[in-house]
Structure 1
Amino acid sequence: MTDGFIDAFLVWIRSAPLMSSVNSFEFDHYAPLIVPVNNENLFFAQSSYLTDVSITLKELPDCVRLLNQLGSQLYSFTVSIVDVCVGNIDITSEIESIYCCNLKKLKMTIYRNMLAYEKYLIPLLQHLSSVKYLTLLLAIYITESNRFVDGFHLERNIVSYMPHLCQFDFHIRSVLKKSPYIELDTIRQSFVKRKSVDCTIEYFNNRYGQCHIYSLPFIGNRLDFISNRFPLFDNKNTFINVTMLLLFDDVKPFENVFFEHITLALPHLRTLEIFNELEQEEKAKIRKNNYIEFSHLSTLIFHYIHMDYGEQLFCRAHLPHLVELVIRNDVLLTIIDQDNQQARNNCLNVETLFIV
């Protein structure tokens, strides 16, 4: 969807008579919208009956402005936020002016590492005290402490501000630079009031650490920066509904058996992205003509990878529905030079190619 179309759509929707009777609005989640800064130019100017909104917005300030504009008429709000950089804008006063006293259902998704979590997102959530059903899918870059987000943090900074809360589902990935070593049980024991929760901690050679905490059953369809140490393969099919997976590891390579397990643990996987520059160590164990099948994979993204992963996915896998490929030029040229029949078969249906 082009920016020109979105702009034209916004002009139309602000004044469309049709919107005067609409009580529920959902817009394409792959098309982030911008809410006007000037409150006199309302986003839903003709929609006094609008109570349910599901939308993707470009930035957090857009979300704050829209909540201010909709105010007490809002009952259900599902929002994804694309750009996590707030910049030099101070939205504290706008957050404090939010009055959504009838908001009962809130789902917020931010998958890029958010820098302004402590400064803006926590105060925003604290101002939405009427919420009864809360879902948070967040990636957070911690800058104001040396602790991962855990159960104590959620209870103290979010749950205690929502006295009517009766259901809280979440998947929160918090990232720390130069993170101190923390025992996994320390995180688990922080969920005193919540039993259906699990977590994992991973440490990398780049001196970053990250902690995933998630309610069960797992509600997300996306996992980012997953290493060999993440408990992806369990006997409970915890992550069976995941469709987007970003793999990252600078400690250990992803071996052939790892990809075999992915096809079993994530049978609905559609997008796979890989960051790993470490050479595979168990190539001698790979059986010839033993192809791994990714039945639903449609998008494959290679950024900083060792050549082994290009060969792994193109030459030793079956990708019958691959239509979008992002790949480094040197990896692509090497695959082409190998003139591998399986690689040619896997590329037959590719419609979109990005060379980086």
Structure 2
Amino acid sequence: MKHLSIELNDLPNEIIVFILRKLYDAEVLYSLIGVNKRLTKITHDSIFTSHLTLTYFSNDFPYPLPDSMLDRFCSQILHEIHHKIKWLTLESTSMQRILRATNYPNLYGLGLYGINVNEAISLFTDDITFTCIVKNQISSLIIDISQDKKQILTTNMNKIIFTRIFTMFTNLQYLDFGPSSIWYQRISFDMPFPTITCLNLLELHICVNYFSDLLYLLDGRFNKLHTLHVNIYHIKYSRSTINSGEKLPNLKCFSLYCDMRTLAYDELIVPFLHRMLNLEILDLHIKVDRYKGFINGNDLKENIINYMPQLNKFTFNIRVFNHISNKINLPSNEDIQYTFKDFKDNQIISCVNLFQEKQFRYCHIYSYPYKMKYYDNISNNFPGGLFKYVHKVSLYDEYPFEHEFFLRIQKSFPFMKELTVINAKPQKNKLYRKSKNDNQDLSIIKYPHLIRLNLFQAHDDYVEQFLVDTDMCLPNHVHLSVNYEVMKMVTENFTRNATRINCEKLRSLYLWGTCEITKHVKDYFPHTHIF
């Protein structure tokens, strides 16, 4: 049969557009503008020109376009399509050159990534960079501050940048300040409070240090704000706490994320939520130390939902810690689950654990499907499910994790990149696992996307579980953290053949508890950086 070759230009426009939408817009424009009239017309469509990303992202880190691409964009392509561009996503090294390349009469949105603090302060002070943009036409801004190795970042610098943004862009309606949620992107509005006022701001995404910073943002200076997503480092009482009971009638959507355990759920968070009488969407992700029992469905209805008559979507991920020393008779997992029987719009999952040695009880309640990127403190009571968004997992229990448990983790977290195992108990079925040749049903575990593995607080059996190639098939380029003496024992003084294959796959190895790495240790890890 004669070979059939179909060129791109022979396909209908609809098929060409469908194919090109799978590619980076920048690559489409760079490759096809000027090839012929038909392809040039197709690539001039708003599908490829209205929201233009002129940077590459790898592991959420921005990289500039190759010099040849950047040169052509600045000398030709941007001049041809400048009036069609409505949003630009840029990275720091090429940002100024692109912004100065031409005029952007219809540009309303900017995404600026990888900018260090000095660049950000200069950017929002000096008008030169934005000479090709009318300042009041920018209504949406994303700014991602990167760490400057030559300068220690402070929350005060972030406060300066935040303030100057509103001075520069007087018509700002959407602001995402620090989308990576990294610690050095947090803001603290400590004394003296900056005089920021923006009557146009409708949606804000921000990371702050303390609860008082959140209260500052909602003291009336952004009185049209209807959507607020806030990541707080720590929710606690402070001298600078702004005690305001003013209602927030314009707020329609609120998301609160705090990964630090708080003692102030009932005293600060609940009364604060009562101010949002017209809230329609609520998303809570918090850790709570509580002495009056677990938070359950009845508690959420009585203390939150009943105060929000307009609420139509409520998602949450709430982890509650109770010390056993208190004498409250805490409910079982079945009791907790029953309190959510009237939550018809969401599937609610609960998991209750009792940890006698550490003297605390732990209750995790969350909306399913689970959208967070992490899942902490998984025990043998883990209810299972599919968690395709989770990349970071930690396991903790006072009972041993057997081989079958790690298989459950494989099935539930198919895209897991980081795993921490905290368990001091030896496996009970270890001998059964060793006789695997007579038990063919025992499957080899595979975590294909695993990058980081922390076994520093894990019993020897779990180090063996992950390193013996008949139990676990590790992917290449894993970073492993483990105790030196445990590693020495499991690998039989770095000579054991059963662990050699997985050890050769390690990209880096952090050995705790030793100061000298001998030659025979290095020879056992031929492709590994040892620390």
Q: TM-score with structure 2 length normalisation? A: 0.58
Worse-matched range after superposition: 159-168 or 50-59:
50-59
Structure 1 SS opposite 2:160 = helix
Q: Select which of 474, 480, 499 maps to 1:319.
A: 474
Q: Corresponding residue for 1:272?
A: 419
Structure 2 SS opposite 1:68 = coil
Distance 1:319 1:329 in 2: 20
Distance 1:321 1:66 in 2: 46
Does the CA-based 8 Å contact 1:169-1:219 persist in structure 2?
Answer: no
2:335 pairs with 1:186: yes
Distance apart, 1:148 and its partner CA? 0.8
Q: Corresponding residue for 1:167?
A: 313
User: Where do 1:177-256 residues align within 5 Å?
Assistant: 177-178=323-324, 180-195=329-344, 196-206=347-357, 207-232=359-384, 237-250=385-398, 252-256=399-403
Does the CA-based 8 Å contact 2:297-2:336 persist in structure 1?
Answer: yes
**How many pairs does the alignment contain?**
342
Structure 1 SS opposite 2:455 = strand
User: Where do 1:152-163 residues align within 5 Å?
Assistant: 152-163=298-309
Distance 1:11 1:88 in 2: 22
Distance apart, 1:229 and its partner CA? 1.3
Distance 1:129 1:334 in 2: 61
Structure 1 SS opposite 2:329 = coil
User: Cα–Cα, structure 1 residues 130 and 217, in superposed 2: closer, same or farther, change >3 Å?
Assistant: same
User: Cα–Cα, structure 1 residues 78 and 188, in superposed 2: closer, same or farther, change >3 Å?
Assistant: same
Q: Corresponding residue for 1:65?
A: 216
Distance 2:248 2:481 in 1: 42
Distance 1:258 1:184 in 2: 20
Distance apart, 1:268 and its partner CA? 1.3
**Greater relative contact order (Cα < 8 A, sep 6+):** 1
User: Where do 1:324-343 residues align within 5 Å?
Assistant: 324-332=479-487, 334=489, 337-339=493-495, 340-343=499-502
Q: Corresponding residue for 1:346?
A: 505
Does the CA-based 8 Å contact 2:159-2:188 persist in structure 1?
Answer: no
Between structure 1 and structure 2, the one with the greater Rg is 2
Does the CA-based 8 Å contact 1:112-1:139 persist in structure 2?
Answer: yes
Does the CA-based 8 Å contact 2:198-2:221 persist in structure 1?
Answer: no
Distance 2:274 2:512 in 1: 44
Structure 1 SS opposite 2:170 = helix
2:249 pairs with 1:101: yes
Does the CA-based 8 Å contact 1:95-1:123 persist in structure 2?
Answer: no
Distance 1:292 1:192 in 2: 36
Structure 1 SS opposite 2:218 = helix
Distance 1:69 1:346 in 2: 56
Tell me, which stretches of 5 or more residues in structure 1 are unaligned?
none
Distance apart, 1:330 and its partner CA? 4.0
Distance apart, 1:97 and its partner CA? 4.3
Distance apart, 1:227 and its partner CA? 0.7
Tell me, which stretches of 5 or more residues in structure 2 are unaligned?
1-145, 514-531
Distance apart, 1:104 and its partner CA? 0.8
CA displacement 1:157-179 (0-9 Å, x = unmatched): 11112121111111212121116
Distance apart, 1:306 and its partner CA? 0.9
Distance apart, 1:303 and its partner CA? 4.2
- Counterpart code for 1:56: C
Q: TM-score with structure 1 length normalisation? A: 0.84
Structure 2 SS opposite 1:338 = coil
Distance 2:226 2:479 in 1: 38
2:431 pairs with 1:284: yes
CA displacement 1:122-162 (0-9 Å, x = unmatched): 1121222221101112221113x1x2101110011111121
Distance 2:478 2:218 in 1: 38
Structure 2 SS opposite 1:4 = coil
RMSD value over aligned CA atoms?
2.9
CA displacement 1:59-93 (0-9 Å, x = unmatched): 32322222336442221111222334x265473xx
- Counterpart code for 1:246: S
Distance apart, 1:6 and its partner CA? 5.6
- Counterpart code for 1:242: V
